[in-house]
Chains A and B, each alone.
Chain A
Amino acid sequence: MEYFLKLFLSGTAKGSIYALIALGYTMVYGIIQLINFAHGEIYMIGGFTALIFGGFFFSKGMPVGFVLLFSVLLSIIYAAAFGYTIEKIAYRPLRGKPRLSALISAIGVSMVLQNFVLLAQTEKFLSFPSYLPEFKWLQPYKEYINSTQLIILGVTAVIMVLLTFLIKFTRMGKAMRATAQDMHMAQLVGVDINQVISVTFILGSALAAIGGVLICSYMGQINYYIGFIAGIKAFVAAVLGGIGSIPGAVLGSFVLGWTESLGTGYISSDYEDAFAFIILIVILLIKPEGILGRTQRQKV
Chain B
Amino acid sequence: MKRRNMVLAVFAMVSLLALFGTQSVFAAPIKIGVAGSHTGDLASYGLPTVNAAKLVVKDINDKGGINGQKIELVIEDDQCKPELATNAAAKLVSAKVVAVIGHICSGATKAALGIYKDSKIVTISPSATNPPLTQSGEYPNFFRTIAPDDAQAKLAANFLTKTLKLKKIAVLHDKGDYGKGFAELVKQYAEENGIQVALFEGINPGAPDYSAVINKISNAKVDGVVWGGYHPEASKLVQQMKDKGMNIPFISDDGVKDNTFIEVAGKYSEGVYATGPTDTSTNPLAIKAIADHKKEFGAEPGAFFLNAYAATQALLNAIAKAGSTDYNKIVAALQSEYVDTPLGHISFDKRGDIIGFGFSVFQVQNGKYVELK
Report A's interface with B, CB cutoff 8 A.
Answer: 3, 6-7, 10-11, 13-14, 17, 124-127, 142-143, 146, 149, 215, 218-221, 223, 225-226, 229-230, 260-262, 264-265, 268-270, 272-273
Complex A-B: 26 CB contacts under 8 Å? A7-B212, A7-B215, A10-B211, A10-B215, A13-B211, A124-B260, A125-B235, A125-B260, A127-B263, A127-B265, A143-B244, A146-B243, A146-B244, A215-B208, A218-B209, A219-B239, A220-B239, A220-B264, A220-B268, A221-B235, A226-B206, A261-B211, A265-B215, A269-B202, A269-B204, A272-B207
Contacts A10-B212, A125-B231, A272-B203 hold; do A220 and B244 have CB atoms under 8 A apart? no
Chain A residues near B216: list those with CB within 8 A. Answer: 264-265, 269
Query: Which of A10, A125, A143, A265 contacts B232 (CB under 8 A)?
Result: A125
CA distance A146 to B244 in the complex (A): 8
Contact-residue bracket for chain B: 20 to 34
Q: How far is the CA of A260 from the CA of B245 in the complex (A)?
A: 23
Closest to B266 in A: A127
Known contacts being A270-B202, A272-B203, is A11 close to B212, with CB within 8 Å? Answer: yes
B219: Cβ under 8 A from any A Cβ: yes
What are the residues of chain B within 8 A of A260 when measuring CB–CB? 212
Closest CB-CB distance, B246 to chain A, in whole Å?
Answer: 9
Which residues of the other chain, A, contact B264 by a CB distance below 8 angstroms? 125-127, 220-221
List of B residues within 8 angstroms of A219 by Cβ:
208-209, 236, 239
- Cα(A80)–Cα(B64), bound, Å: 75
Instruction: Give every chain A residue within 8 A of B219 (Cβ-Cβ).
Output: 3, 6, 265
B binding-site residues for A, Cβ under 8 Å: 175, 201-204, 206-209, 211-216, 218-219, 231-232, 235-236, 239, 243-245, 260, 263-266, 268
Are the CB atoms of A218 and B208 closer together than 8 Å? yes
Q: Report the bound CA distance from A273 to B203 in whole Å.
A: 10
Alpha-carbon distance between A219 and B264 when the two chains are bound, in angstroms: 10
Bound CA span A268–B212, Å: 10
- A270 and B201 contacting across the interface, CB-CB below 8 Å: yes
| Least CB distance, A262 to chain B, in whole angstroms | 8
Asked if A270 and B231 make an inter-chain contact with CB atoms under 8 angstroms apart, the answer reads no
Q: B218 contacts A143, CB within 8 Å?
A: yes
Chain A residues with Cβ under 8 A from B218's Cβ? 143
Pair B212/A264 contact, Cβ less than 8 Å: yes
Task: Give the residues in chain A near B175, CB-CB below 8 Å.
Answer: 270
- Note all chain B residues with C-beta closer than 8 A to A221: 232, 235-236, 264
Pairwise interchain contact B215-A269, C-beta atoms closer than 8 A: no
- 5 tightest Cβ-Cβ pairs between the two chains A and B: A10-B211, A261-B212, A264-B212, A229-B206, A270-B202
Contact present for B232 and A14 (CB under 8 Å): no
Chain A min CB distance to B241 (Å): 11
Quick one: which of A146, A149, A220 contacts B235, CB cutoff 8 A? A220
Q: How far is the CA of A261 from the CA of B209 in the complex (A)?
A: 10
Task: Indicate the member of B175, B201, B208 with the most A CB atoms within 10 Å.
Answer: B208
A225 to B215, CA, bound (A): 27
Complex alpha-carbon distance, A52 and B266, angstroms: 18
Contacts of A13 in B (CB 8 A): 209, 211
Q: How far is the CA of A286 from the CA of B203 in the complex (A)?
A: 29
**Closest chain B residue to A222, Cβ basis:** B264
Residues of A within 8 A of B268 (CB): 220
A72 to chain B, nearest CB (A): 18
Given A218-B208, A221-B235; 16 other pairs, CB 8 A cutoff:
A13-B211, A14-B209, A125-B260, A142-B245, A149-B211, A219-B236, A220-B236, A221-B232, A221-B264, A223-B232, A261-B211, A265-B216, A268-B201, A270-B175, A272-B204, A273-B204
